Structure 1
């Protein structure tokens, strides 16, 4: 008997079966169940066509109905259910020109990328495995469904997905798959960089990141990836430097920026179309690391890192310098600070303006706040409005003289 999250889909599958249709769990959830690792979202495949599903279920959303996918809402749960299908030609090396609905689960599984993702499972736990996925799980190898050339010329992103799965599962890439990636790796140029970005971040988070990086090197796929292709030594530097998964995307970008000889953070942001938020976070961690290399651990450093980024900062230090610093060390220093952010100062920019109503607003306000902030942090000025005001007036008098 299957446990969660599969049992949550019992009503959906039972309804389809009670009405004469087939329905199976497919894809990653089946793979992860067999590997006994945490299971994420579950996908369901059925021989019911989209219009038939819409009639059977009261609460539905036609999220991808042209490709056979219907979102079925059951209580507080929702499931993507897709009609068995085969696909037409892939003229752009990424998406099929057409899909055709079929009634045979084996045909549906034949269009999938890798054998370990081409298995189906019934609600009772019976496995349909026409392409040897279970054997390949035992062998810990990545094999394509059918010829690697066919799968990769259909969808070039699958080559990077092979590397990502090598990292995610700590599997090796089968020899014929490895050779095909070498031959067809250049087709990755037809894939949107945003999709490449997603797969790379997943690779860096993998429990077998070392294996993933070795696979990236052995397949030579890096030669077709933005920035990597112009700096062949970067993958070797990653293999030599990175020992463990990197769970934080900002740390990934900071690491790439530090290890790259030819590209800075802005280059990575631009090449992979990273968000402004991720750019700010990566830049922050990078600046804190630079300050650490210059001055070591200090109250000022801890203040600049901020509590929210302690784990990210320490992760970067460990990756680059192999130095293990306990989070508690930073937390203790942080809790002892006279202020923990600029908002804790006893005065604001508006207060400074009120102290000097005849002086025009300008850069001097930010400059004064920075000076106040540093003096308070260093213990040279008490965080007291009266004392701060006296100090600021002395500065103004000195400027006047």
Structure 2
């Protein structure tokens, strides 16, 4: 068996003989989302009230038994999400509360609108109204004056959500023309609720506006860097698994390129960042189904996220988006299970990236020179013509082949970023 490495720090050492200094987390760092407490409480109350209204609307409707059963089941699912939201609210997980409210509201609105749509004209008018909502929101947010990095992070999240709402509405129109009214209403409801979250993040950005004015055009170079570096990762991983199996990542990258061409640089950055992080999670968990090993990796990602948040705070930034993603990651982590661990990894990485993505003063990791240290060499052991399957323990680390590629990208990214 060849030499294995644990993470990017080991990989850099293996290939260069140099160590990257690992930053530490301040002892007094506290990551919480208490700044969202009032928002989460009000949002929960409004969503619960909306659920009760639609539940009563369904009870008094003239729907046939089969359709009624489908809609009732959908509302039951929404109520389950609301019950989870209440628990999250009681536990002080306010961003998780908002997210669960959002999930519930999509379903509730789907049922509400489906009950209201009786003709083709009704559905067409509904889609037009959602389109108007998207356009007015986009116009308002595009005219915001961005002051400081905290506001920039929130507005970037808002602009990405606007683009997502547009894509969802496009799907709704496609469903409408295919006479698939159930999915048309579903996608329209999703688009409408997504645009409400865009408004929320923009308002949060205004709440934490502080500092110099930042022009959107100044993000163009950063967006290009993120897209190019993410494309390298995606190209590599698709060469391993094929484009068909990773279409979601490819779509994210293509969306990012489209946003860039349209001058939506913050949305392009976020799409590229999300695609790259998802690809890295795939590489980092490849062939591993041992929860203990995955939790060890997750804890390193969690620590790195804390370091990044601390770095942002040191620069005078209040990283509202990063706090939110960090808490959401904790919610997944606490649930356990392979899928939840991977989701937690993804959101810890989001928390890390969004903390420092716009920091001009962010400097690359310090390289520790060790000229007298011998670089470890790869050793081989004789193998029988037929050998049994390797035990589970041999899956604990990622092989050097993917890391050789990633080290090149990481070092290139460090050199390519402006100080």
Relative to the length of structure 2, the TM-score reads 0.23
User: Of Structure 1 and Structure 2, which has the larger fraction of its residues in strand?
Assistant: 1
The answer to which structure, 1 or 2, has the higher relative contact order (CA under 8 A, 6+ apart) is 2
**Rg larger for:** 1
Relative to the length of structure 1, the TM-score reads 0.24
